[in-house]
Every structure is written in C-alpha cells, then in structure tokens.
Structure 1
C-alpha cells in the first residue's frame, strides 16, 4: 500500500526526518510512536504532500507520489486528519463535510454561472458522500448543527468523516484520541477497526500506549527523526532502544 524509501527532510541544518524506510501494508492498522519532536507529524506531512522531502521516495500502490502537491496526493487516495481540528465554526457539520468530496468534482466557473447539470449532479454527489461519511462515524443526528455547538469528541469524529469524504485508500490520523476521555478513546479505537473492516488502511500517530498496543498491527518508532524500531506491539514493547527512548522500564514507571 505505502512504501517509504530513505525519506529525509532537512530544515536548515536540522534533520526532522532522517533516512526513514518503512512499508505499511494494506488493510492494517499501522502506528507511529515516539517522543515529542521525534518527527512524527513531519513524516505525515511528507506523505500527504504538505512538505517536499529533501531526499527519498514515497510510493502509493507503486505510484511515485514524492513530489506531488497535497491535493494530487489526496486524489490518489491519501486522507488526513491533524492534531488540531480546524473546521468552519459558523457552518453546519454537513456543510463542513461537503468540502471533502470536492476534490473528486470537475465543475468550473462556467458550470456555476449557468447552474449546469454537471454542477447539480456533483453537488448531490458531494452531499450524499458527506452524509455517508457522517453516518459512518455515528454523527448523522448532528448534521444540521453548527460546528461551534458540538463537543470536542464530536469535532474529532467530524474530522474523521471529512477525511473519509475524500474517498481515501489510506487514512493518516494525527493523534486522534488526544484530549478525550478513556470511554471516548475506546470509541475511536472501534472506529478505526471499522475503517479497516471496510477496506481502508489506517496509519496513526498516538501517545496513548494502551490503545496503540491493543490496536496496531505494526508500530514504527521514531526518535530524533530516525527510525529506531518497527514490528508488532510485542516486539516494540520489549525493544531496549524503545524502552530507553520512549516507553521507560517498569522501574522507571514505578519511580
């Protein structure tokens, strides 16, 4: 599904991501963990086209997407959420989601001026896709509410739905469970499993280790921009480098 080869991103003299290679399999839940400042979000920004790498390659289903703009990467099937959920506060939930499917439409200025049949058909398709995504995340009942009036947990679900409305193959989730309580965290874990059950590939950044260890099929660990480990949760949990850099030992936790 997603193959990264020797990916490097320099900001001046700082290597935010340094020679990282990894393969994320289709239909799996893949996690990226590491300390703050390890390069996790920069890694996502490179995959999604928000940043251009200094060197290396990114392949999506065998297609080289390394130098593509973020809108082109999204058209090829990469959906994305962010650490901070930025939505249109004074628009309804449904109107926020209609934007997601726009990258699949072809109407231009002329279609708008004459209210063409193509525009009308694409407007309906975008609205239908928005409602489908909203139903998937369990928020059909709030489609007409303003973003300003819904809860933090609901906003995060709307962000999930916005990514789904783009018709992705793989979804990059940047700290999806940050700032929510344990019950809500379980709900997001169930939602990610549902995404995979419906044919999607999930890649997430997260600091909640209990969730990651019980959820992920594969984990990659970054530290100071470099990959220091990858493998199953069991392999990562027992890796000495990971324990030293991030997880800590049982004695450290007890202290």
Structure 2
C-alpha cells in the first residue's frame, strides 16, 4: 500500500525523523509506537502530506507522492484523524460528515447557485455516503444531534466516520483512543479491526499498549526520530531495544 524509503525531516538543526524505511501492509492494522518526542506525529504528517520531507521517498501503490499536499493525498485515498477531534460544533453530526464526502464531488459555485441536476445528485450522494459512514461506526442514532453535544467517545467515532466518508484506501489514526475509558477503548479497537476486515489499510499511532498488542498486525517503533524495531506484537514485546526505550520490563511479561 505505502512504501517509505529513507525518509527524513529536519526543522532547522533538529532532525525529527531520520532515515526511516518501512512498508504499510495493505488490509492490515499497522501501528507506530514510541516515547513522547519519538517523531510519530511528524512521520504521520509526512505521509499524509502536511509536511514536505527533507529527503527520502514515499510511494503510494507504486506512485511517488513525496511532497504532495494533504488535499492531493486525500484525493489519492489517504485520510487521517488527529489527536484533538475538531468538528463544526454548531452543525449536526450528519452535516459534519457530508463535508467529508465533498472531496469526491465536482459541483462548483455556479452549480450551487443554479441548483443544477449535478448539484442535487451530488448532495444526495453526499448524504447517503455520510449516513453509510455513520452506520459503519455505530452512530446512526445521533445523526441529527449537534456535534457540540456528543461524548468524547462519540467524537472519536465521528472523526473516523468523517475520514471514511472521503472513501480512503489508507486510514491514518493519530491516537484514536486518547481520552476515553478502557471499555470504550475496547469498542474502538473492534471498530478499527472492522475497518481492516472491510478491505481498508489502517495505520495508527497510539500509546495504549494493551490495545496495540491485541490489535496490530505489524508494529514499527520509533525513538528519537529513528526506527529501532519492527515486527509482530510478539516480536516487539520481547525486543530488548524496545523494552529499554519504551515498554519497560514489566510489559515484556504481559501476554
């Protein structure tokens, strides 16, 4: 799905990501872990088009996409969520999702002003896609609620639904379980696995290790901007470099 070769990003004299190479496996849950300041979010910003890499290659399904803008990456099928979920608070949940599918429409200002046939057809398509995304994440019952009145866990699911409404092939989730309780975390993990089972590729950054170890098919570990390990959860759990840099000896004993 996505191949990253020797990717680096410098901010002045600081190298936030240094020579990282990896592959995001298709139709699987790929995870990125590491201590605070390890370069995880910077790495996400590079592969989603928010940052231009200083050096290195990014290939999406064989196409060189290094340096493309975030909107161009989104049109190619890369969607992402952020640590902080930002919605249009005064709009309904459904209207928030309709905005997401506008990425795939072609109507312009003239279509809107004249209420052309294309405009009406695309509005119907956007609404159907939004309802489908809400149903997929289990929130059909709150479509008419104001986005400002829903719970933190519902906001997390709405953010994922908004990304799904753009019809992505690759979904990047930045700390999707942040700020929610253990029971809600389990439910979110089930949703992420459902997304991968449906044929989408998932890559997530997350600090909740029990969730990652039970969910991910493959894990990459960053420390100080460098990749220090990569493998299955079982391999990562027993990797001494990862234990020393991040997990700690207690976690290595958790099965």
Partners in 2 of 1:226 and 1:218 — Cα distance? 17
Secondary structure at the aligned position of 2:207 is classed as coil
Secondary structure at the aligned position of 1:159 is classed as helix
Using the TM superposition, give the Cα deviation of residue 250 of structure 1 relative to its aligned residue in structure 2, in angstroms: 2.8
Stretches of 4+ aligned residues off by more than 4 angstroms: none
What's the counterpart of residue 35 of structure 1? 35
Query: Are 2:254 and 1:247 equivalent residues in the alignment?
Result: no
Query: Are 2:7 and 1:12 equivalent residues in the alignment?
Result: no
What's the counterpart of residue 50 of structure 1? 50
Q: How does 1:219-234 map to 2 (within 5 A)?
A: 219-234=219-234
Using the TM superposition, give the Cα deviation of residue 188 of structure 1 relative to its aligned residue in structure 2, in angstroms: 0.5
| Structure 1 residues 112 and 251: alpha-carbon distance in aligned structure 2, compared to 1, 3 A threshold | closer
Using the TM superposition, give the Cα deviation of residue 113 of structure 1 relative to its aligned residue in structure 2, in angstroms: 1.7
What's the counterpart of residue 156 of structure 2? 156
Secondary structure at the aligned position of 1:53 is classed as coil
What's the counterpart of residue 99 of structure 2? 99
Using the TM superposition, give the Cα deviation of residue 252 of structure 1 relative to its aligned residue in structure 2, in angstroms: 10
Using the TM superposition, give the Cα deviation of residue 173 of structure 1 relative to its aligned residue in structure 2, in angstroms: 0.4
Query: Are 2:211 and 1:193 equivalent residues in the alignment?
Result: no
Kindly report the root-mean-square deviation, in angstroms, between the aligned alpha carbons of the 2 structures. Answer: 1.3
Secondary structure at the aligned position of 1:148 is classed as helix
Partners in 2 of 1:29 and 1:192 — Cα distance? 8
Partners in 2 of 1:95 and 1:251 — Cα distance? 43
What's the counterpart of residue 70 of structure 1? 70
Secondary structure at the aligned position of 1:244 is classed as helix
What's the counterpart of residue 204 of structure 1? 204
Structure 1 gap segments, 5+ residues each: none
TM-score, normalised relative to structure 2? 0.97
Partners in 1 of 2:36 and 2:121 — Cα distance? 45
Indicate conservation of the 8 Å contact 2:237/2:251, yes or no: no
Using the TM superposition, give the Cα deviation of residue 6 of structure 1 relative to its aligned residue in structure 2, in angstroms: 0.7
| Structure 1 residues 153 and 6: alpha-carbon distance in aligned structure 2, compared to 1, 3 A threshold | same
Secondary structure at the aligned position of 2:210 is classed as helix
State the Cα deviation string for residues 32-86 of structure 1 (Å, max 9, x = none).
0000111101111111101111011111111111121111100111110000000
| Structure 1 residues 76 and 251: alpha-carbon distance in aligned structure 2, compared to 1, 3 A threshold | closer
Using the TM superposition, give the Cα deviation of residue 145 of structure 1 relative to its aligned residue in structure 2, in angstroms: 0.4
Aligned pair count reads: 253
What's the counterpart of residue 89 of structure 1? 89
Partners in 2 of 1:252 and 1:237 — Cα distance? 5
Indicate conservation of the 8 Å contact 2:59/2:65, yes or no: yes
Using the TM superposition, give the Cα deviation of residue 228 of structure 1 relative to its aligned residue in structure 2, in angstroms: 0.5
Indicate conservation of the 8 Å contact 2:48/2:70, yes or no: yes
Secondary structure at the aligned position of 2:228 is classed as strand
State the Cα deviation string for residues 89-137 of structure 1 (Å, max 9, x = none).
1110001000111111111111112111111111111111000000000
Partners in 1 of 2:208 and 2:251 — Cα distance? 20
| Structure 1 residues 213 and 122: alpha-carbon distance in aligned structure 2, compared to 1, 3 A threshold | same
Query: Are 2:132 and 1:132 equivalent residues in the alignment?
Result: yes
TM-score, normalised relative to structure 1? 0.97
